[in-house]
């Protein structure tokens, strides 16, 4: 009912505006029929505004960089991520140069050649040489980018598994994550959603000998400097395992196993001491403190924040999509071993 | 001339032979006249646009002030906004329907439908579309699909909310999200009808352009608008049926227990029987349309601006053949790049390499287009009418958004920004804002053709443009940064991650600009409606344009030209062409030579 009333009010408002327009129209004298076509004055004003506008674009770019530089992700915490960041930087520099020049030309020409009575435009319909130049330049530049990009991509995606690779299953479901480690035998046990029952939340085949020493956890621990191969599964709908600090992402697809591998290069402890991260955490805590001071009596008190790596779901997956996360801890091999030793194996969990 | 007069008499006889009386219904509702149908498309499109933009404002408020309560939620969202708190499910519904409406209903039907219908017959010199009846059916199917889409907003469990890409299994299973019940069914039905409408329209456009060109109107003399509409229609015919098949399979998965897209699913405490399907298949099918769709949206806008920039620069469009070639190249490439939406979908990484290659190739014809626009401005005599401003604005956002596309098209770089706000910023600039600018440019420019010579108010047009231009960059420039900070899209709130707390300020800035630019659209609406009724009638050819539509009668008659259809003797871009001894323009004292003007005595013949 309220919605209907609102619509009615909007319609009536429109009618009122129209009536006002009518009165306005009647009150004006007769105009000449060219009144609504740009004249020299309009061209002049809008020409200058075009010039101002290109400065506005530069301004908003500079402002954004100045103001938002420090919200960006810190240095890559994985080995391949350094290559991605490098490529990103090069591409970014390139598109900025192109963007700055073309936007300038576009708006400057709009200003410089703004119409004037009696000004004669140049009849200039074709020039094969010019067109050849600006076809060939993008071709060369893009060829470079494509080749560079493809090398980077192939290096990341073609995973060679060796003795030392740590295989971890990432298991996604509405709305949480689980990680399964292969255990001492370095082989993940078979699993299928049809076997999900009680404590066997991931549907691991309990009779599979490889499954006995598997370890299921809800906090991802990774030893630094060791290649991790993630095998991703989903139980219900599409999810995406997104680990922004590691420049890593892969969809989790029900019915198939997807994979992504990287080598973490910076431990959580080290990252917490990274200058950018220290700054960011400080800023975040200032914001949280301020919020705590301004909040009402029944609001939840915000805890102070300490930095942790995180795994987010980045593919729309349902109502709680926005809160589907898992903590990632990157630590030294010793810390990792110690942590792993405390975890119960699947055989132990299922026996209970 | 007597021969012409004779032709005319026959023509006249053909078209008005029966002299049936136009009733209100045949004239305004079930009209088969392309001009009326184009207006119907435009007004339906604008109406849907109001809904789509209003939705974006609601969810922008939620993003900027997630912990504040707004009564406005309760007013518009009812039970999903109780106490002024937005429900997460309705947030997802809003983004889903916003995307669907803007992409399909506003920018496909509202833009291409409006201007293809209006301009194809008028600019090629035809009395109407090849089939007026199919054209009418096409509009009414579109209307029906709009009604169903709007109705789906009112179903008990909420409208479709699996994202506009409706990836299964989320869109297939009501257990996964409430919107995948009746809401999703209606979404699919609406889209199926929409596709039928779009196909009928496209076939009609293609046939009309091929068969009904007036004498002398060779393909290389066509205005670029027509080239763009023509190729757009072809892409539509190639790709929309694939979406229909995807939708049909999804309907079967949902209702008849098939397993095209579903396999190994455990949800709500039970295992589903589905086995062997793959959501990745759906992604392939969806994006086989989804990516060409970007160009279905964008090409008409580029065609419109080509025409408007040339006319208002008083110069020929630079590199006409290159422009046509790049339209063709973009159209071809657009059908083989869909995989760049799926780099991290789990498909074979080798495919990722292939799609990176084809995707970056598209930058070449796009760059050619941008450079040609800029060169067209060079040494012109720019008449900065509102349509011209929007056209220049389009080139600007097309460049900005296109450049970030080079980053996203690179599979290695896509890994870390896929599905973040960086992508949202990119595609809104390059296809959303650019296509909207094209729509506005077209409306300002051809308003006199739609409403019997009336012109829109230019000062309101200027205000509309400048606020929108500033607002659009204000919204989408900062949005790149929250994307680079790793913020995923489609999050109802970012407060679950303290790590993103410092992005709230940026979101407030974005929302503020969004409100400013949405406010500017009210100025446009007012201008549109008031000019429709009280607009001042301008000259017959207000922009001194070369194309044929300005030779047609100002008053709308069925058949467009009261007399014979004009013949064409030149291309559409003889602006400021000088005579052989360069003493004056081809037509002395007039800086344009319309297409129906025969070659003059003292004129050098060009290639066209």
Give the gap in angstroms from C-alpha A160 to the nearest C-alpha of chain B: 14
Cβ partners under 8 Å of residue B132, min gap 6:
B32, B33, B34
Measured at the CA of B21, the angle between CA B16 and CA B27, to 5 degrees, comes to: 95
What region, left, alpha or beta, does residue B379 occupy, with left being phi > 0 and alpha being psi -120 to 50 degrees? left
In a domain, A128, yes or no: no
The predicted pLDDT at position A185 comes to: 86
Q: What is the bridge-based pairing of β-strands A228-234 and A166-173?
A: parallel
Is residue B43 predicted with pLDDT exceeding 90? Answer: yes
Interface of B with A in 144-163 (CB under 8 A): 162-163
Taking CB atoms and an 8 Å cutoff, what residues of chain B touch A106? Answer: 373-374, 377, 392, 395-396, 399
Residue B14's pLDDT is what?
45
d(CA A6, CA B606): 60
Strand duo A258-262 + A309-313: pairing: unpaired
Strands A309-313, A220-223: pairing is unpaired
Token pair, residue B555, equals 């008053």
Q: Which of B413, B480, B486 sits opposite A87 (nearest CB)?
A: B413
Q: Is B498 on the interface with A (CB under 8 A)?
A: yes
**Residue A266 CB contacts under 8 Å (≥ 6 apart), including other chains:** A75, A77, A224, A274, A330
What confidence score (pLDDT) does residue B558 get? Answer: 86
- Chain B residues inside the 8 Å CB shell of A322: 88, 490-494, 496
Structure tokens that stand for B49 in this block: 């646009």
| Contact residues, chain A, for B395 at CB < 8 Å | 106
CB B228 within 8 A of CB B303: yes
Q: Cβ–Cβ of B176/A134 closer than 8 Å?
A: no
Chain A: residue nearest B381 by CA?
Answer: A115
DSSP secondary structure letter of residue B89: H
Helix (H, G, I), strand (E, B) or coil at A270: helix
- CA-nearest residue to B606 within chain A is A125
Query: Is residue A306 over pLDDT 90?
Result: yes
CB contact under 8 A, B407 and A92: yes
**Amino acid A9: pLDDT:** 73
Q: Does B84 touch chain A (CB under 8 A)?
A: no
Q: Compute φ and ψ for A56, nearest 5 degrees.
A: -60, -40
Res B467 pLDDT > 90: yes
pLDDT for residue B317:
94
Question: Strand, coil or helix: what is B587?
Answer: strand
What is the pLDDT at residue B3?
40
**At residue A15, does pLDDT exceed 80?**
no
Nearest CA among B204, B189, B111, B106 for reference residue B151: B189
Average pLDDT over residues B504-522: 95
Q: Do A146 and B473 touch (CB under 8 A)?
A: no
Q: Is A231 domain-assigned?
A: yes
pLDDT of residue B15: 46
A-chain CB neighbours of B578 within 8 Å are: 123
Q: What residues have CB less than 8 Å from A7, skipping those under 6 apart?
A: none
B374 contacts B414 by C-beta, under 8 angstroms: no
Look at strands A248-252 and B266-267 and give their pairing.
unpaired
In which band, very low, low, confident or very high, does the pLDDT at A301 lie, cut at 50, 70 and 90?
confident
Residue of B nearest to A322 (CA): B491
pLDDT for residue B184 is more than 90: yes
Q: What's the pLDDT at B1? A: 35
**What distance in Å separates the CA atoms of residue A334 and residue A342, rounded to the nearest whole number?**
13
What would the mean pLDDT of B226-232 be, rounded to a whole number? 96
Query: Which of B318, B374, B502 comes nearest A284 by C-beta?
Result: B502
Q: End-to-end distance of chain B based on CA atoms, in angstroms? A: 25
**Which region holds residue B168: left if phi is over 0, alpha if psi is between -120 and 50, else beta?**
beta
Mean pLDDT of B324-342: 95
Check residues B345 and B28 and name the one with the higher pLDDT: B345
Cross-chain Cβ contact B379/A256 below 8 Å: no
The set of residues, in sequence order, having a beta carbon less than 8 Å from that of B197 and lying 6+ positions away, is: B109, B137, B138, B139, B140, B141, B142, B145
Task: Give burial (CB, 10 Å; 0-12/13-18/19+) of B18.
Answer: exposed
The CATH number of the domain holding residue A270 is 2.60.40.420
Which of B336, B312, B303 shows the shortest CA–CA distance to B229?
Answer: B303
pLDDT value of residue B206: 96
Whether the predicted pLDDT of B498 surpasses 50: yes
pLDDT grade for B159, boundaries at 50, 70 and 90: very high
Q: What is the SS3 assignment for B439?
A: helix
Chain A interface test: which of B363, B410, B476, B550 (most A C-beta within 10 Å): B410
Closest-CA distance, B264 to chain A, in angstroms, reads 5
Mean pLDDT of A66-89: 94
Tally of domains in chain A:
1
Q: Is A219 exposed, middle or buried (0-12, 13-18, 19+ CB in 10 A)?
A: middle
Q: Are B414 and B344 in contact (CB under 8 A)?
A: yes
Give me the domain span that covers residue A204.
Answer: 166-286+303-351
The answer to the question of residue A6 being in a domain is no
How large is the greatest C-alpha to C-alpha distance in chain A, in angstroms? Answer: 94
- B137, HSE (Cβ side, Cα atoms, 13 Å): 13
User: Residue B19: is its pLDDT beyond 80?
Assistant: no
Q: What is the mean pLDDT of chain A?
A: 90
Spacing of C-alpha B318 from chain mean position: 24
Average pLDDT over residues B220-244: 95
Please give the Cα distance from A251 to A241 (Å, whole number).
6
Is A155 a member of any domain? no
Say whether pLDDT at B16 is over 50: no
What would the DSSP string read from start to end of A129-178? HHHHHHHHHHHHHHHHHHHHHHHHHHHHH-----TTPEEEEEEEETTEEE
In this predicted structure, the answer to whether residue A290 has a pLDDT above a threshold of 60 is yes
pLDDT at B11 over 50: no
Mean pLDDT over B286-296 rounds to 93
Chain B nearest-CA residue for A7: B76
Longest dimension (CA), chain B: 86
Strands A248-252 and A239-243: antiparallel
| Nearest-angstrom CA–CA distance, B317 and B307 | 8
User: What are the pLDDT digits (tens) for B409-429?
Assistant: 999 999 999 999 999 999 999
Residue B605 binned pLDDT confidence (cut-offs 50, 70, 90): confident
φ, ψ of residue B576 in degrees (nearest 5): 55, 30
pLDDT of B528 strictly over 70: yes
pLDDT at A4 over 70: no
Predicted complex: ipTM over 0.95 = no
DSSP code of residue B119: H
User: Which residue in the set B316, B363, B496 is minimally distant from A125, CB to CB?
Assistant: B316
**Contact present, A242 and A312 (Cβ < 8 Å):** yes
SS3 (DSSP) at A252:
strand
Assigned domain for A180 exists: yes
pLDDT in tens, A16-42: 777 776 666 666 655 677 889 999 999
Write down all domains in chain B, each with its CATH number in brackets: 26-262+274-551 (1.20.210.10)
- Domain assignment present for residue A102? The answer is no
Q: Return the ∠ at Cα B503 (arms to B500 and B507), rounded to 5°.
A: 130
Mean pLDDT value across residues A223-238: 95
Of the pLDDT bands very low, low, confident and very high (cuts 50, 70, 90), residue B27 is confident
Structure tokens at B245: 């098949």
CA distance B515 to chain A (A): 17
Q: How confident is the model at residue B10 (pLDDT cuts 50, 70, 90)?
A: very low
- CA A203 to mean position of chain CA atoms: 31
pLDDT tier, B13 (very low <50, low <70, confident <90, very high otherwise): very low
Q: Residue B21: is its pLDDT beyond 80?
A: no
DSSP string, B34-71: HHHHHHHHHHHHHHHHHHHHHHHHHHHHHHH-TT---H
pLDDT attached to residue B245: 95
Query: Average of pLDDT values for A337-345?
Result: 94
A138 vs B contacts (CB less than 8 Å): 363-364, 367-368
Q: Residue B586 pLDDT more than 80?
A: yes
- pTM (two decimals): 0.92
B446-471 average pLDDT score: 94
B183 forms bridges with which residues in the sheet?
B159
Say which residue the tokens 């060009």 belong to: B606
Smallest Cβ–Cβ distance between B412 and the set A35, A149, A232 belongs to A149
Question: DSSP of B133-188, one letter per residue?
Answer: HHHHHHHHHHHHHHHHHHHGGGSTT-B--STTTT-TTTTT-TTT-GGGTHHHHHHH
A258-262 and A228-234 strand pairing: antiparallel
Residues of chain A with C-beta less than 8 angstroms from the C-beta of B389 = 46
Q: How confident is the model at residue A291 (pLDDT cuts 50, 70, 90)?
A: confident
Residues 6 or more apart in contact with residue B267 via CB below 8 angstroms: A174, A235, A236, A237, B169, B173, B175, B176
Nearest alpha-carbon partner for B184 in B158, B213, B156, B146: B158
- Mean pLDDT, chain B, whole residue set: 92
CB pairs under 8 A between A and B: 413
Q: A148 burial class (0-12, 13-18, 19+ CB within 10 angstroms)?
A: middle
CB B483 within 8 A of CB B420: yes
Under the banding of pLDDT at 50, 70 and 90, the label for residue B22 is confident
Rounded Cα–Cα distance for residues B498 and B4 (Å): 77
Question: Do the Cβ atoms of A249 and B322 come within 8 Å?
Answer: no
For range A334-344, the mean pLDDT: 94
Please compute the mean of the pLDDT values over residues A158-165 and round it to a whole number.
86
CA-CA distance, B473 to A100, in Å (whole number)? 15
pLDDT of residue B9: 41
Kindly tell me the number of DSSP H helices and DSSP E strands found in chain A: 8, 10
CB contact at 8 A, A86 and A273:
no
Interface test mutation site (partner A, options B286, B499, B546, B605, max chain A beta carbons within 10 A): B499
pLDDT at A317: 94
What local confidence, expressed as pLDDT, does residue A30 receive? Answer: 55
Interface of B with A in 362-401 (CB under 8 A): 363-364, 367-368, 370-375, 377-385, 388-389, 392, 395-396, 399-400
A239 DSSP β-pair partners: A252
> A58 to chain B: which residues are within 8 Å by CB?
none
What DSSP character marks residue B453? Answer: T
| Partners of A325 in beta bridges | A312
Is residue B461 over pLDDT 90? yes
Is A279 domain-assigned?
yes
Q: Which residues of B touch A253 (CB under 8 A)?
A: 278-280, 345-346
Domain assignment present for residue A189? The answer is: yes
Q: What is the full DSSP assignment across B253-310?
A: HHHS---SS--S-EETTEE-S--S--HHHHHHHHHHHHHHHHHHHHHHHHHHHHHHHH
Helices in A69-120 by DSSP H: which ranges?
Answer: 79-112
Q: Which residue of B has its CA nearest to A42?
A: B384
């Amino acid at each position: 009912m309220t919605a209907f009333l609102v619509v009615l009010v909007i319609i009536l408002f429109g009618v009122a505006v129209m009536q006002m327009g009518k009165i306005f129209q009647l009150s004006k004298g007769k105009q000449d029929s060219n009144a609504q076509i740009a004249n020299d004055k309009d061209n002049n004003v809008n020409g200058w505004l075009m010039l101002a506008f290109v400065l506005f674009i530069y301004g908003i770019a500079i402002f954004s960089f100045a103001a938002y530089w420090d919200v960006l992700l810190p240095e890559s915490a994985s080995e391949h991520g350094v290559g991605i960041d490098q490529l990103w930087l090069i591409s970014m520099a390139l598109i900025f140069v192109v963007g700055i020049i073309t936007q300038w030309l576009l708006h400057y020409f709009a200003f410089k050649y703004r119409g004037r009575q009696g000004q004669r435009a140049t009849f200039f319909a074709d020039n094969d040489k010019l067109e050849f130049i600006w076809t060939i330049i993008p071709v060369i530049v893009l060829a470079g980018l494509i080749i560079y990009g493809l090398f980077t991509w192939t290096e990341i995606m073609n995973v060679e598994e060796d003795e030392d690779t740590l295989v971890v299953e990432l298991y996604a479901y509405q709305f949480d994550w689980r990680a399964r480690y292969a255990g001492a035998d370095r082989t993940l046990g078979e699993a299928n959603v049809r076997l999900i029952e009680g404590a066997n939340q991931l549907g691991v085949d309990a009779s599979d000998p490889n499954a006995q020493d598997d370890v299921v956890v809800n906090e991802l621990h990774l030893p630094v400097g060791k290649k991790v191969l993630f095998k991703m599964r989903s139980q219900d709908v599409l999810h995406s395992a997104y680990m922004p600090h590691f420049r890593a992402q892969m969809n989790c697809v029900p019915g198939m196993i997807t994979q992504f591998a990287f080598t973490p290069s910076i431990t959580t402890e080290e990252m917490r001491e990274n200058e950018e991260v220290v700054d960011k955490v400080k800023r975040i805590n200032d914001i949280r403190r301020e919020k705590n001071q301004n909040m009402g009596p029944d609001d939840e008190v915000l805890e102070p924040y300490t930095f942790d790596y995180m795994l987010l779901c980045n593919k729309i997956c349902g109502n709680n999509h926005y809160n589907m996360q898992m903590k990632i801890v990157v630590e030294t091999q010793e810390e990792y071993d110690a942590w792993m030793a405390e975890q119960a194996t699947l055989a132990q969990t299922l026996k209970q | 001339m007597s021969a012409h007069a004779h032709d005319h008499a026959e023509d006249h006889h053909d078209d008005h032979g029966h002299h049936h009386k136009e009733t209100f219904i045949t004239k305004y509702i079930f009209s088969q006249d392309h001009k009326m149908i184009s207006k119907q498309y435009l007004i339906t499109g604008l109406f849907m646009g109001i809904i789509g933009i209003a939705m974006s404002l609601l969810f922008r408020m939620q993003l900027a002030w997630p912990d504040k309560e707004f009564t406005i939620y309760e007013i518009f969202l009812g039970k999903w906004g109780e106490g002024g708190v937005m429900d997460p499910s309705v947030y997802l519904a809003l983004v889903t329907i916003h995307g669907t409406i803007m992409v399909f209903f506003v920018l496909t039907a509202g833009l291409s439908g409006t201007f293809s219908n209006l301009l194809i017959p008028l600019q090629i010199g035809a009395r109407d579309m090849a089939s007026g009846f199919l054209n009418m059916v096409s509009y009414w199917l579109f209307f029906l699909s709009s009604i169903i889409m709007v109705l789906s907003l009112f179903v008990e469990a909420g409208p479709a909310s699996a994202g506009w890409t409706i990836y299964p299994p989320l869109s297939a299973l009501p257990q996964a999200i409430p919107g995948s019940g009746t809401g999703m069914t209606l979404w699919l039905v609406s889209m199926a009808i929409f596709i039928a409408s779009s196909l009928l329209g496209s076939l009609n456009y293609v046939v009309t352009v091929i068969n009904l060109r007036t004498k002398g109107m060779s393909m290389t003399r066509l205005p670029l608008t027509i080239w763009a509409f023509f190729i757009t229609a072809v892409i539509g015919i190639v790709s929309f049926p694939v979406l229909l098949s995807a939708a049909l399979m999804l309907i079967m998965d949902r209702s008849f227990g098939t397993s095209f897209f579903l396999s190994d699913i455990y949800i709500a405490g039970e295992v589903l029987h589905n086995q062997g399907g793959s959501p990745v298949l759906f992604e392939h099918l969806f994006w086989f349309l989804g990516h060409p769709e970007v160009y279905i949206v964008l090409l008409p806008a580029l065609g419109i601006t080509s025409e408007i920039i040339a006319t208002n620069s008083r110069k020929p469009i630079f590199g006409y053949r290159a422009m046509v070639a790049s339209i063709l190249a973009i159209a071809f490439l657009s059908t083989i790049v869909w995989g760049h939406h799926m780099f991290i979908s789990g498909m074979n990484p080798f495919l990722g390499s292939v799609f990176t290659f084809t995707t970056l190739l598209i930058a070449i014809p796009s760059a050619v287009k941008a450079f040609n626009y800029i060169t067209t401005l060079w040494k012109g005599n720019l008449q900065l009418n509102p349509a011209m401003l929007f056209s220049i604005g389009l080139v600007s956002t097309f460049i900005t958004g296109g450049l970030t596309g080079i980053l996203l098209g690179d599979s290695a770089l896509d890994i870390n920004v896929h599905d973040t706000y960086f992508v949202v910023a990119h595609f809104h600039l390059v296809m959303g804002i650019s296509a909207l600018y094209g729509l506005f440019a077209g409306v300002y420019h051809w308003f006199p053709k739609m409403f019997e010579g009336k012109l829109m108010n230019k000062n309101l047009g200027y205000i509309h443009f400048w606020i929108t231009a500033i607002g659009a960059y204000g919204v989408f420039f900062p949005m790149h940064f929250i994307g680079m900070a790793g913020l995923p899209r489609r999050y109802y709130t970012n407060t679950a991650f303290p790590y993103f707390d410092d992005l709230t300020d940026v979101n407030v800035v974005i929302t503020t600009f969004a409100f400013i630019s949405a406010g500017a659209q009210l100025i446009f609406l007012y201008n549109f409606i008031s000019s429709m009724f009280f607009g001042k009638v301008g000259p017959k050819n207000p922009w001194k344009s070369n194309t044929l539509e300005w030779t047609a009668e100002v008053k709308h008659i069925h058949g467009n030209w009261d007399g014979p259809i004009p013949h064409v003797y030149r291309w559409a871009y003889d602006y400021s062409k000088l005579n052989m001894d360069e003493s004056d323009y081809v037509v002395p004292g007039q800086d344009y030579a319309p297409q129906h003007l025969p070659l003059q005595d003292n004129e050098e013949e060009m290639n066209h």
